[in-house]
Protein backbone atom coordinates (compact mmCIF):
# COMPACT_ATOMS: atom_id res chain seq x y z
CA UNK A 1 0.00 0.00 0.00
CA UNK A 2 1.95 2.95 -1.33
CA UNK A 3 -0.85 5.50 -0.73
CA UNK A 4 -2.39 6.82 2.47
CA UNK A 5 -5.87 7.48 1.09
CA UNK A 6 -7.89 7.12 -2.09
CA UNK A 7 -11.04 9.20 -2.59
CA UNK A 8 -13.40 7.53 -5.04
CA UNK A 9 -15.60 10.19 -6.63
CA UNK A 10 -14.02 13.64 -7.00
CA UNK A 11 -17.19 15.67 -7.22
CA UNK A 12 -18.25 18.48 -4.93
CA UNK A 13 -17.79 16.32 -1.83
CA UNK A 14 -14.85 14.17 -2.84
CA UNK A 15 -12.51 16.62 -4.57
CA UNK A 16 -12.24 19.17 -1.74
CA UNK A 17 -11.73 16.24 0.67
CA UNK A 18 -8.95 14.78 -1.49
CA UNK A 19 -7.32 18.21 -1.68
CA UNK A 20 -7.52 18.59 2.10
CA UNK A 21 -5.85 15.21 2.68
CA UNK A 22 -3.13 15.97 0.13
CA UNK A 23 -2.59 19.42 1.61
CA UNK A 24 -1.86 17.75 4.98
CA UNK A 25 0.89 15.72 3.32
CA UNK A 26 -1.03 12.46 2.90
CA UNK A 27 -0.26 10.54 -0.28
CA UNK A 28 -3.66 10.89 -1.91
CA UNK A 29 -5.33 9.39 -4.98
CA UNK A 30 -8.42 10.96 -6.54
CA UNK A 31 -10.54 8.55 -8.56
CA UNK A 32 -13.41 9.36 -10.90
CA UNK A 33 -14.97 7.54 -13.84
CA UNK A 34 -15.38 10.92 -15.59
CA UNK A 35 -12.12 11.13 -17.53
CA UNK A 36 -12.76 14.76 -18.47
CA UNK A 37 -13.03 15.72 -14.81
CA UNK A 38 -9.83 13.85 -14.00
CA UNK A 39 -8.06 15.65 -16.86
CA UNK A 40 -9.38 19.04 -15.71
CA UNK A 41 -8.04 18.59 -12.18
CA UNK A 42 -4.76 17.13 -13.44
CA UNK A 43 -4.41 20.29 -15.52
CA UNK A 44 -4.70 22.38 -12.36
CA UNK A 45 -8.25 23.61 -12.87
CA UNK A 46 -11.26 23.20 -10.58
CA UNK A 47 -14.35 21.80 -12.35
CA UNK A 48 -16.63 23.80 -10.02
CA UNK A 49 -16.44 26.75 -7.65
CA UNK A 50 -15.30 26.17 -4.06
CA UNK A 51 -13.66 29.09 -2.23
CA UNK A 52 -9.97 28.44 -1.62
CA UNK A 53 -9.83 25.25 -3.65
CA UNK A 54 -7.77 26.64 -6.53
CA UNK A 55 -5.00 27.69 -4.16
CA UNK A 56 -4.95 24.28 -2.44
CA UNK A 57 -4.91 22.52 -5.80
CA UNK A 58 -1.88 24.59 -6.83
CA UNK A 59 -0.09 23.64 -3.60
CA UNK A 60 -0.70 19.91 -3.76
CA UNK A 61 0.35 19.76 -7.41
CA UNK A 62 3.60 21.46 -6.46
CA UNK A 63 4.06 19.13 -3.48
CA UNK A 64 3.26 16.05 -5.57
CA UNK A 65 0.89 14.64 -2.94
CA UNK A 66 -2.11 14.17 -5.25
CA UNK A 67 -2.46 11.56 -7.99
CA UNK A 68 -5.49 11.20 -10.25
CA UNK A 69 -6.97 8.30 -12.20
CA UNK A 70 -10.14 6.96 -13.79
CA UNK A 71 -9.27 3.38 -12.80
CA UNK A 72 -11.16 2.57 -9.60
CA UNK A 73 -9.06 -0.55 -8.96
CA UNK A 74 -6.12 1.77 -8.27
CA UNK A 75 -7.89 2.81 -5.05
CA UNK A 76 -6.82 -0.54 -3.57
CA UNK A 77 -3.27 0.85 -3.39
CA UNK A 78 -4.37 2.96 -0.41
CA UNK A 79 -4.61 2.15 3.28
CA UNK A 80 -7.89 4.09 3.46
CA UNK A 81 -10.52 4.09 0.68
CA UNK A 82 -13.13 6.85 0.99
CA UNK A 83 -16.28 6.51 -1.12
CA UNK A 84 -17.92 9.82 -2.06
CA UNK A 85 -20.42 8.47 -4.56
CA UNK A 86 -23.89 9.47 -5.64
CA UNK A 87 -26.60 7.98 -3.44
CA UNK A 88 -29.86 8.94 -5.15
CA UNK A 89 -33.34 7.73 -4.41
CA UNK A 90 -35.75 6.29 -6.93
CA UNK A 91 -38.94 8.22 -7.62
CA UNK A 92 -40.96 5.69 -5.63
CA UNK A 93 -39.06 6.38 -2.37
CA UNK A 94 -36.50 3.61 -2.60
CA UNK A 95 -32.81 4.10 -1.98
CA UNK A 96 -30.43 3.42 -4.86
CA UNK A 97 -27.10 1.92 -3.70
CA UNK A 98 -26.03 0.82 -7.17
CA UNK A 99 -23.04 3.18 -7.37
CA UNK A 100 -21.66 1.96 -4.04
CA UNK A 101 -22.23 -1.67 -4.97
CA UNK A 102 -20.58 -1.21 -8.38
CA UNK A 103 -17.41 0.22 -6.83
CA UNK A 104 -17.33 -2.51 -4.20
CA UNK A 105 -17.55 -5.13 -6.97
CA UNK A 106 -14.61 -3.49 -8.75
CA UNK A 107 -12.55 -3.40 -5.55
CA UNK A 108 -13.40 -6.85 -4.17
CA UNK A 109 -10.56 -8.78 -5.86
CA UNK A 110 -8.00 -6.19 -4.78
CA UNK A 111 -8.82 -5.51 -1.12
CA UNK A 112 -6.33 -6.67 1.49
CA UNK A 113 -6.16 -7.16 5.24
CA UNK A 114 -5.75 -3.94 7.18
CA UNK A 115 -7.51 -1.65 4.73
CA UNK A 116 -10.30 0.71 5.78
CA UNK A 117 -13.35 1.51 3.63
CA UNK A 118 -15.08 4.75 4.58
CA UNK A 119 -18.56 5.76 3.40
CA UNK A 120 -18.58 9.56 3.19
CA UNK A 121 -21.75 10.12 1.14
CA UNK A 122 -25.17 10.41 2.70
CA UNK A 123 -26.61 6.92 3.10
CA UNK A 124 -29.78 5.32 4.38
CA UNK A 125 -29.86 3.70 7.83
CA UNK A 126 -28.34 0.23 7.60
CA UNK A 127 -26.11 0.91 4.59
CA UNK A 128 -22.84 0.67 6.54
CA UNK A 129 -23.95 -2.72 7.83
CA UNK A 130 -24.86 -3.73 4.27
CA UNK A 131 -21.39 -2.78 3.00
CA UNK A 132 -19.67 -4.64 5.84
CA UNK A 133 -21.81 -7.71 5.22
CA UNK A 134 -21.24 -7.51 1.48
CA UNK A 135 -17.45 -7.52 1.96
CA UNK A 136 -17.62 -10.36 4.46
CA UNK A 137 -19.92 -12.45 2.27
CA UNK A 138 -17.91 -12.03 -0.93
CA UNK A 139 -14.37 -12.01 0.44
CA UNK A 140 -14.54 -13.74 3.79
CA UNK A 141 -13.20 -10.78 5.78
CA UNK A 142 -14.14 -10.26 9.39
CA UNK A 143 -14.98 -6.57 9.37
CA UNK A 144 -13.61 -4.82 12.43
CA UNK A 145 -10.67 -7.22 12.57
CA UNK A 146 -9.30 -8.02 9.09
CA UNK A 147 -10.87 -5.14 7.20
CA UNK A 148 -12.44 -1.96 8.54
CA UNK A 149 -15.66 -0.20 7.48
CA UNK A 150 -17.03 3.08 8.80
CA UNK A 151 -19.45 5.87 7.98
CA UNK A 152 -17.93 9.33 8.38
CA UNK A 153 -20.70 11.61 7.10
CA UNK A 154 -20.05 14.83 5.20
CA UNK A 155 -21.79 17.72 6.96
CA UNK A 156 -20.05 20.73 5.41
CA UNK A 157 -22.10 23.44 3.71
CA UNK A 158 -21.56 24.27 0.05
CA UNK A 159 -18.85 26.91 -0.44
CA UNK A 160 -17.60 26.49 3.14
CA UNK A 161 -15.46 23.38 2.88
CA UNK A 162 -12.08 24.81 3.81
CA UNK A 163 -13.61 26.87 6.62
CA UNK A 164 -15.40 23.94 8.22
CA UNK A 165 -13.35 20.80 7.51
CA UNK A 166 -11.03 21.39 10.45
CA UNK A 167 -13.64 22.76 12.89
CA UNK A 168 -16.90 20.82 12.59
CA UNK A 169 -17.03 17.72 14.81
CA UNK A 170 -16.19 14.68 12.69
CA UNK A 171 -18.67 11.88 13.38
CA UNK A 172 -17.20 8.39 12.98
CA UNK A 173 -19.47 5.36 12.99
CA UNK A 174 -17.29 2.27 12.83
CA UNK A 175 -18.59 -1.26 12.20
CA UNK A 176 -17.00 -3.77 14.55
CA UNK A 177 -14.43 -3.26 17.24
CA UNK A 178 -11.57 -1.71 15.27
CA UNK A 179 -13.24 0.23 12.46
CA UNK A 180 -13.89 3.42 14.37
CA UNK A 181 -10.24 3.77 15.35
CA UNK A 182 -9.07 2.99 11.81
CA UNK A 183 -11.28 5.69 10.27
CA UNK A 184 -10.41 8.18 13.01
CA UNK A 185 -6.72 7.63 12.25
CA UNK A 186 -7.34 9.11 8.79
CA UNK A 187 -9.63 12.00 9.67
CA UNK A 188 -7.57 13.12 12.65
CA UNK A 189 -5.15 14.52 10.08
CA UNK A 190 -7.71 17.20 9.18
CA UNK A 191 -7.71 18.62 12.71
CA UNK A 192 -11.42 18.42 13.60
CA UNK A 193 -12.57 16.85 16.89
CA UNK A 194 -13.50 13.17 16.43
CA UNK A 195 -16.79 11.87 17.82
CA UNK A 196 -17.05 8.07 17.88
CA UNK A 197 -20.46 6.43 17.63
CA UNK A 198 -22.22 3.47 16.00
CA UNK A 199 -22.83 3.28 12.24
CA UNK A 200 -26.60 3.57 12.59
CA UNK A 201 -26.32 6.65 14.80
CA UNK A 202 -23.87 8.26 12.38
CA UNK A 203 -26.27 7.56 9.50
CA UNK A 204 -29.25 8.98 11.39
CA UNK A 205 -27.33 12.04 12.57
CA UNK A 206 -26.45 12.94 9.00
CA UNK A 207 -29.83 12.51 7.38
CA UNK A 208 -31.68 14.16 10.26
CA UNK A 209 -29.33 17.14 10.14
CA UNK A 210 -30.67 17.76 6.65
CA UNK A 211 -34.25 16.81 7.52
CA UNK A 212 -34.18 19.34 10.35
CA UNK A 213 -33.13 22.12 7.99
CA UNK A 214 -35.60 21.06 5.31
CA UNK A 215 -38.42 21.14 7.86
CA UNK A 216 -37.37 24.43 9.43
CA UNK A 217 -37.40 26.07 6.01
CA UNK A 218 -40.76 24.53 5.08
CA UNK A 219 -42.50 26.31 7.96
CA UNK A 220 -41.91 29.89 6.73
CA UNK A 221 -42.70 28.78 3.19
CA UNK A 222 -46.03 27.40 4.36
CA UNK A 223 -46.61 30.60 6.33
CA UNK A 224 -45.82 32.67 3.21
CA UNK A 225 -48.58 30.83 1.34
CA UNK A 226 -51.06 31.32 4.17
CA UNK A 227 -50.25 35.02 4.41
CA UNK A 228 -51.02 35.34 0.68
CA UNK A 229 -54.33 33.59 1.33
CA UNK A 230 -55.34 36.09 4.02
CA UNK A 231 -53.70 39.21 2.62
CA UNK A 232 -51.09 39.40 5.38
CA UNK A 233 -47.40 40.29 5.17
CA UNK A 234 -45.26 37.23 5.92
CA UNK A 235 -42.26 39.30 6.98
CA UNK A 236 -44.38 41.24 9.48
CA UNK A 237 -45.81 38.00 10.88
CA UNK A 238 -42.34 36.45 11.23
CA UNK A 239 -41.15 39.59 13.00
CA UNK A 240 -44.08 39.32 15.42
CA UNK A 241 -43.25 35.66 16.08
CA UNK A 242 -39.55 36.30 16.75
CA UNK A 243 -39.32 39.78 18.25
CA UNK A 244 -38.00 39.60 21.83
CA UNK A 245 -39.61 36.19 22.25
CA UNK A 246 -37.49 33.39 23.74
CA UNK A 247 -39.41 30.68 21.90
CA UNK A 248 -39.40 32.29 18.46
CA UNK A 249 -36.87 31.38 15.81
CA UNK A 250 -38.99 31.29 12.64
CA UNK A 251 -36.75 31.38 9.55
CA UNK A 252 -37.40 33.46 6.42
CA UNK A 253 -39.03 31.96 3.31
CA UNK A 254 -37.21 31.10 0.11
CA UNK A 255 -36.62 28.49 -2.59
CA UNK A 256 -35.56 25.58 -0.39
CA UNK A 257 -33.80 22.93 -2.44
CA UNK A 258 -30.38 21.48 -3.22
CA UNK A 259 -29.35 17.88 -3.68
CA UNK A 260 -29.02 17.20 0.06
CA UNK A 261 -32.17 18.82 1.43
CA UNK A 262 -34.39 17.81 -1.44
CA UNK A 263 -33.31 14.15 -1.43
CA UNK A 264 -32.21 13.13 2.02
CA UNK A 265 -35.64 12.97 3.65
CA UNK A 266 -36.29 9.91 1.48
CA UNK A 267 -33.56 8.02 3.36
CA UNK A 268 -35.87 8.11 6.38
CA UNK A 269 -39.17 8.01 4.52
CA UNK A 270 -38.32 4.70 2.82
CA UNK A 271 -39.02 2.77 6.03
CA UNK A 272 -40.77 5.45 8.05
CA UNK A 273 -42.97 4.45 11.01
CA UNK A 274 -44.89 7.68 10.29
CA UNK A 275 -45.23 7.66 6.50
CA UNK A 276 -46.23 10.91 4.88
CA UNK A 277 -44.96 13.41 7.44
CA UNK A 278 -41.74 14.20 5.60
CA UNK A 279 -43.48 13.96 2.24
CA UNK A 280 -45.70 16.80 3.43
CA UNK A 281 -42.62 18.86 4.29
CA UNK A 282 -41.25 18.19 0.83
CA UNK A 283 -44.57 19.12 -0.76
CA UNK A 284 -44.48 22.55 0.88
CA UNK A 285 -40.98 23.36 -0.34
CA UNK A 286 -41.68 21.93 -3.78
CA UNK A 287 -44.78 24.15 -4.07
CA UNK A 288 -42.90 27.45 -3.77
CA UNK A 289 -42.22 27.78 -7.55
CA UNK A 290 -45.93 27.29 -8.32
CA UNK A 291 -46.83 29.76 -5.56
CA UNK A 292 -44.59 32.37 -7.20
CA UNK A 293 -46.02 31.70 -10.66
CA UNK A 294 -49.60 32.02 -9.40
CA UNK A 295 -48.67 35.18 -7.51
CA UNK A 296 -47.26 36.77 -10.64
CA UNK A 297 -50.38 35.86 -12.63
CA UNK A 298 -52.65 37.51 -10.07
CA UNK A 299 -50.62 40.71 -10.18
CA UNK A 300 -50.19 41.09 -13.93
CA UNK A 301 -52.89 42.66 -16.04
CA UNK A 302 -55.21 40.00 -17.41
CA UNK A 303 -53.95 37.40 -14.96
CA UNK A 304 -51.96 35.64 -17.64
CA UNK A 305 -48.27 35.13 -18.39
CA UNK A 306 -48.82 34.39 -22.05
CA UNK A 307 -46.13 36.20 -24.11
CA UNK A 308 -44.97 38.01 -20.94
CA UNK A 309 -41.23 38.20 -20.44
CA UNK A 310 -40.21 36.86 -17.02
CA UNK A 311 -36.63 37.23 -15.81
CA UNK A 312 -35.43 34.53 -13.41
CA UNK A 313 -32.42 35.72 -11.42
CA UNK A 314 -30.46 32.85 -9.93
CA UNK A 315 -29.96 29.26 -11.08
CA UNK A 316 -27.93 27.90 -8.15
CA UNK A 317 -29.82 26.26 -5.31
CA UNK A 318 -28.33 28.60 -2.71
CA UNK A 319 -26.43 31.86 -2.46
CA UNK A 320 -22.85 32.38 -3.60
CA UNK A 321 -22.34 28.99 -5.25
CA UNK A 322 -22.44 27.71 -8.82
CA UNK A 323 -24.09 24.46 -7.68
CA UNK A 324 -27.31 23.92 -9.65
CA UNK A 325 -28.02 20.38 -8.45
CA UNK A 326 -31.73 20.03 -7.66
CA UNK A 327 -32.21 23.80 -7.81
CA UNK A 328 -35.87 24.79 -7.89
CA UNK A 329 -35.05 27.55 -10.38
CA UNK A 330 -35.38 25.05 -13.21
CA UNK A 331 -38.75 23.85 -11.97
CA UNK A 332 -39.83 27.50 -11.77
CA UNK A 333 -38.76 28.10 -15.36
CA UNK A 334 -40.57 25.00 -16.61
CA UNK A 335 -43.77 26.12 -14.88
CA UNK A 336 -43.43 29.59 -16.39
CA UNK A 337 -42.95 28.11 -19.85
CA UNK A 338 -46.10 26.02 -19.39
CA UNK A 339 -47.89 29.35 -18.85
CA UNK A 340 -46.44 30.46 -22.22
CA UNK A 341 -44.18 33.02 -20.57
CA UNK A 342 -40.97 34.08 -22.30
CA UNK A 343 -38.31 33.12 -19.76
CA UNK A 344 -34.89 34.75 -19.55
CA UNK A 345 -32.45 33.62 -16.83
CA UNK A 346 -29.28 35.13 -15.40
CA UNK A 347 -26.87 33.98 -12.71
CA UNK A 348 -23.38 35.53 -12.46
CA UNK A 349 -21.93 32.32 -10.97
CA UNK A 350 -23.75 29.67 -12.97
CA UNK A 351 -22.18 27.73 -15.85
CA UNK A 352 -25.66 27.45 -17.40
CA UNK A 353 -26.22 31.21 -17.56
CA UNK A 354 -25.47 32.87 -20.88
CA UNK A 355 -27.42 36.12 -20.53
CA UNK A 356 -26.24 39.26 -18.78
CA UNK A 357 -28.40 40.98 -16.19
CA UNK A 358 -29.29 43.61 -18.77
CA UNK A 359 -30.31 41.00 -21.34
CA UNK A 360 -32.41 39.01 -18.88
CA UNK A 361 -34.18 41.90 -17.17
CA UNK A 362 -34.43 44.31 -20.10
CA UNK A 363 -38.10 44.88 -20.90
CA UNK A 364 -39.25 42.15 -18.50
CA UNK A 365 -42.85 42.20 -17.33
CA UNK A 366 -41.88 40.29 -14.17
CA UNK A 367 -38.68 39.45 -12.30
CA UNK A 368 -38.18 36.61 -9.83
CA UNK A 369 -35.29 36.53 -7.35
CA UNK A 370 -34.82 32.77 -7.36
CA UNK A 371 -31.44 32.72 -5.56
CA UNK A 372 -30.30 35.07 -2.81
CA UNK A 373 -26.73 35.76 -3.96
CA UNK A 374 -25.06 38.23 -1.61
CA UNK A 375 -24.13 40.46 -4.54
CA UNK A 376 -27.83 41.05 -5.16
CA UNK A 377 -28.68 42.03 -1.59
CA UNK A 378 -28.23 45.68 -2.45
CA UNK A 379 -30.89 48.27 -3.14
CA UNK A 380 -28.78 49.58 -6.00
CA UNK A 381 -29.52 46.28 -7.73
CA UNK A 382 -33.24 46.84 -7.17
CA UNK A 383 -32.89 50.29 -8.74
CA UNK A 384 -31.10 48.75 -11.71
CA UNK A 385 -33.85 46.15 -12.16
CA UNK A 386 -36.53 48.84 -12.01
CA UNK A 387 -34.69 50.87 -14.65
CA UNK A 388 -34.26 47.89 -17.00
CA UNK A 389 -37.65 46.20 -16.67
CA UNK A 390 -40.86 47.26 -18.35
CA UNK A 391 -42.97 49.97 -16.67
CA UNK A 392 -45.14 48.37 -14.01
CA UNK A 393 -42.99 45.21 -13.88
CA UNK A 394 -43.83 42.93 -10.97
CA UNK A 395 -41.02 41.60 -8.82
CA UNK A 396 -41.13 38.46 -6.68
CA UNK A 397 -38.53 38.40 -3.91
CA UNK A 398 -39.35 35.58 -1.45
CA UNK A 399 -35.88 35.92 0.11
CA UNK A 400 -36.40 39.63 0.82
CA UNK A 401 -33.04 40.29 -0.81
CA UNK A 402 -33.83 43.99 -1.10
CA UNK A 403 -35.13 44.41 2.46
CA UNK A 404 -38.50 45.57 1.14
CA UNK A 405 -40.50 43.25 3.41
CA UNK A 406 -42.67 42.20 0.49
CA UNK A 407 -42.77 38.92 -1.43
CA UNK A 408 -44.45 40.65 -4.38
CA UNK A 409 -44.34 44.25 -5.48
CA UNK A 410 -43.97 46.61 -8.41
CA UNK A 411 -40.27 47.06 -9.10
CA UNK A 412 -40.43 50.80 -9.73
CA UNK A 413 -42.58 51.47 -6.66
CA UNK A 414 -40.29 49.42 -4.43
CA UNK A 415 -37.22 51.21 -5.72
CA UNK A 416 -38.81 54.66 -5.30
CA UNK A 417 -39.98 53.84 -1.77
CA UNK A 418 -36.40 53.48 -0.59
CA UNK A 419 -34.56 55.62 -3.11
CA UNK A 420 -30.80 55.80 -2.65
CA UNK A 421 -28.22 57.88 -4.54
CA UNK A 422 -27.80 56.49 -8.04
CA UNK A 423 -24.94 54.01 -8.26
CA UNK A 424 -24.05 51.30 -10.68
CA UNK A 425 -24.40 47.91 -8.95
CA UNK A 426 -21.47 45.52 -9.18
CA UNK A 427 -23.45 42.63 -10.63
CA UNK A 428 -22.20 40.55 -13.53
Note the pLDDT of residue 264.
84
N residues, the chain = 428
Contact 361, 427 (CB under 8 A): no
- pLDDT at position 370, please? 96
Q: For 179, list phi and psi in degrees, rounded to 5.
A: -70, -40
- pLDDT tens digit at each of 428 positions of the chain: 799 999 999 999 999 999 999 999 999 999 999 999 999 999 999 999 999 999 999 999 999 999 999 999 999 999 999 999 988 887 777 888 999 999 999 999 999 999 999 999 999 999 999 999 999 999 999 999 999 999 999 999 888 999 999 999 999 999 999 999 999 999 999 999 999 999 999 999 999 999 999 999 999 999 999 999 999 999 999 999 999 999 999 999 999 988 788 788 888 888 888 888 999 999 999 999 999 999 999 999 888 999 999 999 999 999 999 999 999 999 999 999 999 999 999 999 988 899 999 999 999 999 999 999 999 998 899 999 999 999 999 999 999 999 989 999 999 999 998 664 444 333 33
Neighbours of 36 (CB within 10 A): 10
Which 3 state secondary structure label does DSSP give 143? strand
In the chain, the domains with their CATH numbers are 3-199 (3.40.50.720), 234-417 (3.40.50.720)
Neighbours of 142 (CB within 10 A): 14
Note whether 48 and 12 are within 8 A (CB): yes
Q: What ranges in 6-52 are assigned the alpha helix state H?
A: 14-23, 35-42
In order, the DSSP letters of 193-226 are: PEEEE-HHHHHHHHHHHHHHHHHHHHHHHHHHHH
Q: What is the pLDDT of residue 418?
A: 65
Amino acid sequence: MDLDVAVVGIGRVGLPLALAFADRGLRTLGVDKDADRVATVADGRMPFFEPGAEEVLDRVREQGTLELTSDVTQAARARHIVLTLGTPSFSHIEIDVSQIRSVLDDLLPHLRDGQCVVLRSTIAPGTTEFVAGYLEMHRGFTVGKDLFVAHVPERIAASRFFDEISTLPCIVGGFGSGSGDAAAELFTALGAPIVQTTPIEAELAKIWTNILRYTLFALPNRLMMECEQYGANVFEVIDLINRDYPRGGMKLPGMTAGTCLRKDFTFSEERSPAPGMLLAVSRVNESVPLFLVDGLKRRLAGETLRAKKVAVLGLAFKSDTDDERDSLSFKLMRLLERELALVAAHDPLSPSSSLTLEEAVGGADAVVLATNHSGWQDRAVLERIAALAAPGAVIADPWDCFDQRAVFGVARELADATATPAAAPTVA
